[in-house]
Amino acid sequence: MKSKAAIEAIIMKQGFSDYKWINPKEIVVAHWVRVKCTFGCGDYGLGTCPPNSPSVNDCDSFFKEYESGLIIRLTKYADKNAYPSDWSREMTNKLLDIEREVFLSGYQKAFLLNQTCCTLCKDCSGNRVNCKDKTNSRPSPESFAVDVYQTVRNAGLDINVISENPSEINKIAILLIE
C-alpha cells in the first residue's frame, strides 16, 4: 500500500494540485441536495444521476465505510451557459486514471465521485441499465446527496455560488480511499 505522499504524487502527475485530505465520515449528506437534483437539474434521470443512484440514507452509510479521502478542486474560467464539455471530459479521464492507479496500488475500495454528472458519452442512454460505459461512469458528489458547499468549507477550502457570468468555476471531485 502507498503512503499519502505516494498518492499525492499520483494526483500531481495528472496535473492536480488543489486537493485536501478528508475523513469521509465527515462528508455532509443532506436530503435538500437530492431534492435540488430532482427539481432543478437538467441531468436528472440520466446515467449516474438520481434516481439511478442510492438513497440518501444509503449514501450516508456508504461514506462511513471509508477512513480517508481527498477533495480535489478543479478550477476553470468559463461561461456557465456554454459549459466546457471537452475540458470536463478530459478532467474526468484524468480523475479516472487517478482512481485506477490508487486501486492498483493496493486500495481495493478506491472510488471516485466525479466532478460532474457523467459526461463520457455524447449520447447518454439515459439510464444505468443501458449505459454504454459502465466501467468508467461515476456519480457526482451531488448525485450521492453530498452537500458540496458545506463539505468543502468544513475541509477549509473556499467555494462560493457563481453570481457572475462568465466566471471562475470550481468543480469538486471526491476520491474515497481505503
pLDDT digits (tens, 9 = 90+) for 88-134: 889 999 999 999 999 999 999 999 999 987 666 677 666 667 777 76
Question: What's the rounded mean pLDDT across residues 81-87?
Answer: 85
The predicted model scores a pTM of 0.93
The 10s digit of each residue's pLDDT in 56-70 is: 999 999 999 999 999
pLDDT for position 104:
96
Q: Please, which pLDDT band fits residue 75 given cuts at 50, 70 and 90? A: very high
pLDDT for position 96:
96
Grouping H, G, I as helix, E, B as strand and the rest as coil, residue 76 is: strand
Cis ω on the peptide bond leading into residue 166 (within 30° of 0)? yes
Judge whether 96 lies within some domain: yes
pLDDT for position 149:
97
Q: Which three cell numbers stand for residue 37?
A: 437534483
Report the number of secondary-structure helices (H) and strands (E) in the chain: 5, 4
Judge whether 51 lies within some domain: yes
Spatial distance between the Cα atoms of 164 and 132, rounded to a whole number of angstroms: 36
Judge whether 171 lies within some domain: no
Judge whether 178 lies within some domain: no
Q: Is the pLDDT of residue 41 over 80?
A: yes
Q: Which three cell numbers stand for residue 21?
A: 485530505
8 Cβ neighbours under 8 A, 6+ residues apart: 19
The tally of domains found in the chain comes to: 1
Q: Which of 119, 120, 161, 115 is nearest to 140 (CA)?
A: 115
**Percent helix, strand and coil across the chain, each rounded to 5?**
35, 15, 50
Tell me what the pLDDT averaged over the chain comes to.
Answer: 91
Judge whether 167 lies within some domain: no
Phi, psi dihedrals of residue 86, rounded to the nearest 5°:
-65, -45
Judge whether 55 lies within some domain: yes
Question: What's the rounded mean pLDDT across residues 18-41?
Answer: 96
Instruction: List the alpha helices (DSSP H) in the chain.
Output: 4-13, 31-38, 56-63, 85-104, 148-154
Judge whether 155 lies within some domain: yes
Q: Is the pLDDT of residue 50 over 90?
A: no
The 10s digit of each residue's pLDDT in 129-172 is: 777 776 778 999 999 999 999 999 999 999 988 888 899 989 99
Residue 138 sits in which domain range? 4-161
More reliable by pLDDT, 174 or 169 = 174
Percent of the chain whose pLDDT exceeds 90 = 67
Amino acid at 178: E
More reliable by pLDDT, 48 or 95 = 95
Judge whether 99 lies within some domain: yes
